[in-house]
Amino acid sequence: MHLRGMICTISLVFVVSGMSATSDISARSAASQSPDTATLYRVNCQMCHGPGGKAPIPEMAFVGRIWKHGTKSADMAAVITNGVAGTPMMSFKRKFTPDQIKALARHVRAFDKSLPPEK
């Protein structure tokens, strides 16, 4: 297995092993108040996409990359909602509310300062 495959596999193991812990966070937040978007990103996304969106694997970074699935926050929300088949990116539609997904999409998009502001 080449390095990229190993890193993706390791990342997937962390994602899967972290699911129960992050599910608890989601359940607690639904019961009381939602954690802020930066916390949602740190707990659920940062392990693969890196702090500030600077992942060591270019395809997983939000900074210094060519966007494959669109540059609008609505495009990013669709990826968060549905995942990407054939990649470690899983669907979060059962884990986050639609408002949390929209907020995460805006948060992720903001990492790439080369993107023009959305209207």
- pLDDT value of residue 7: 52
Look at the chain and report how many structural domains it folds into: 1
pTM above 0.75, yes or no: no
Burial 35-71 (b: 16+ CB within 10 A, else e): bebeebbeebbebbbbeebebebeebbbeeeeeeeee
Give yes or no for residue 25 having a pLDDT over 80: no
Question: Is the pLDDT confidence value at 118 over 80?
Answer: yes
Q: What CATH number does residue 46 fall under?
A: 1.10.760.10
Query: What does the pLDDT read at residue 35?
Result: 60
Q: Which one is predicted more confidently, 8 or 87?
A: 87
Given a cut of 70, whether residue 65 has pLDDT beyond it is yes
Span 79-108, mean pLDDT?
96
| Domain contains 117 | no
What is the domain extent for residue 105?
3-111
Determine contact, residues 43/32, Cβ cutoff 8 Å: no
Report yes or no on 71 lying in a domain: yes
